[in-house]
Amino acid sequence: MHELALMEEVRRIAMAAAAAEGAQRIHSVKLTVGRLSGVDPGALAFAFEVVMADGISQGATLDLEVVPTVCQCGGCGQRFEPVDVIHACPRCGELSSELLAGRELEVTGLEVS
Amino acid sequence: MCSHCSCGQPAASVEPTPQHRTLQLRHNLLASNDAAAEHNRQRFAAAGLLVVNVLSAPGSGKTAILEQLARQWLPAPVGVIVGDLATDNDARRLRAAGARAVQIQTGDLCHLEAAMVGRAFDQLDNHGMELLLIENVGNLVCPTAFDLGERLRLAVLSVPEGEDKPLKYPALFKSADAVMINKLDLAEVVDFDRTAALANLAGVAPQAQIFELSARTGAGMGALLHWLSQQRQPMAAA
């Protein structure tokens, strides 16, 4: 349940961005989360409710964007989205690959007024 | 001036309608942890320390492995920063094995963060030390995302946990430089399928070095010690 610690950081980032904008309310927060980032969407939603419950973020909604894992094969250079936890290249079968996307944990948008 | 009539009174102040607007941001949630980790990494490098973050499920034998390393990494003392939820049992065990141990009592927190490790390092006498081990909180999910400033990340898989652990917790095993298969002395009793375990690890974590050992009997510890001392050499030469 490290989602709570991460969500505290989301609140800190959102409050700072809202203050810089002179906003009075935070209506929604967009989070971009990679499939390999090790967070659970249900736990994130729960943590969001808890952390955003008071102040200018009260009633804010969570907009969660889950981005797929993208690998680049270490053998043939093919880019692919792995179908399971074993990131085998669909072209040459090589297992070793570089992760191009999938570990994201970012605040990517904020709706304020 | 009043806009309704020609009374000459100042215009009533009108509350502006709140304007909904969408802000585009790109702010990594781990940015502050990553910065603290980088700071730790520089301090560890300046102190000439090989720092290893050890992760596993509770009860997989992390502390026993660390006790063996503390006894066998001679002659330099081994440092351990140990995260434990509520007790200082692990730190006491590690001190008894000769380690310089600093305990981080994590309370309900399920993982260590870089800033906590930095504060614990402040309390550690690292004089003459070469190897610093960080025993993370027993958990196969939460600690994965948090860089602590380590040079190497070691994951432990103990045989009673089953061969398919790497398939269930891929993010952790994919982030490991090495995986220690521990409690090999129990393999027969728990019907451990070694071939399947190695195949799963090769599939999920092809980057990882694999060490098969029993921290209880000491079997297989030599290969791990040899590998760790090799990992330290490029630093010692630098």
pLDDT in tens, B150-160: 999 999 999 99
- The answer to whether B225 and B195 are in contact (CB under 8 A) is no
Phi, psi dihedral angles at B21 (to 5 degrees): -145, 150
Mean pLDDT (whole number) for A64-76: 95
Question: Is residue A109 over pLDDT 50?
Answer: yes
Sort residue B41 into left (φ over 0), alpha (ψ -120 to 50) or beta: alpha
Q: Residue A82 sits in which domain range?
A: 3-112
Q: What angle do CA B156, B162, B165 make, to 5 degrees?
A: 60
Give the whole-angstrom CA distance, residue B32 versus residue B36. Answer: 6
Query: According to DSSP H, which parts of B112-209 are helical?
Result: 114-122, 165-168, 170-174, 194-204
Helix (H) or strand (E) holding A72: strand A70-73
Weakest mean pLDDT among A53-57, A92-96, B108-112, B209-213: B108-112
| Å between A31 CA and nearest CA of chain B | 10
Contact B111 A2 (CB under 8 A): yes
Give the nearest chain B residue to A13 (CA atoms).
B27
ipTM for the assembly: 0.88
Q: How far apart are CA A113 and CA A25, in angstroms?
A: 5
At B107, which CATH number? 3.40.50.300
Contact list, B164 vs chain A (CB under 8 Å): none
Distance from C-alpha of A19 to C-alpha of A69, rounded to nearest angstrom: 34
Mutate to test the interface with A, among B29, B109, B116 (most CBs of A within 10 A): B29
Asked if residue B137 is part of any domain, the answer here is yes
On average, the pLDDT of chain A sits at 94
Partner residue facing A108 (CB), from B21, B26, B172: B26
Q: Which residue has the higher pLDDT, B237 or A69?
A: A69
Name chain A contacts of B203, Cβ cutoff 8 Å: 85-86, 88, 95
* pLDDT at site B1: 46
As for how many domains chain A has, the answer is 1
Tally Cβ neighbours within 10 Å of residue B48: 13
- Say what the pLDDT of residue A43 is: 92
Structural domain total, chain B? 1
Q: If you average pLDDT over residues A50-61, what whole number do you get?
A: 94
| CATH code for the domain in which residue A27 is found | 3.30.2320.80
pLDDT of residue B237: 58
Asked if the structure places residue B75 within a domain, the reply is: yes
CB–CB of B25 and A25 under 8 A?
A: no
B116 lies in which domain range? 42-237
CA closest to A99 among chain B residues: B174
Residue type, A105: L
Enumerate residue ranges in chain B where pLDDT < 50. Answer: 1-3, 13-14, 16
Half-sphere exposure at residue B107, Cβ-oriented, CA atoms within 13 angstroms: 2
- CA angle A45/A48/A49 to nearest 5° reads 90
What is the bridge-based pairing of β-strands A70-73 and A97-101? antiparallel
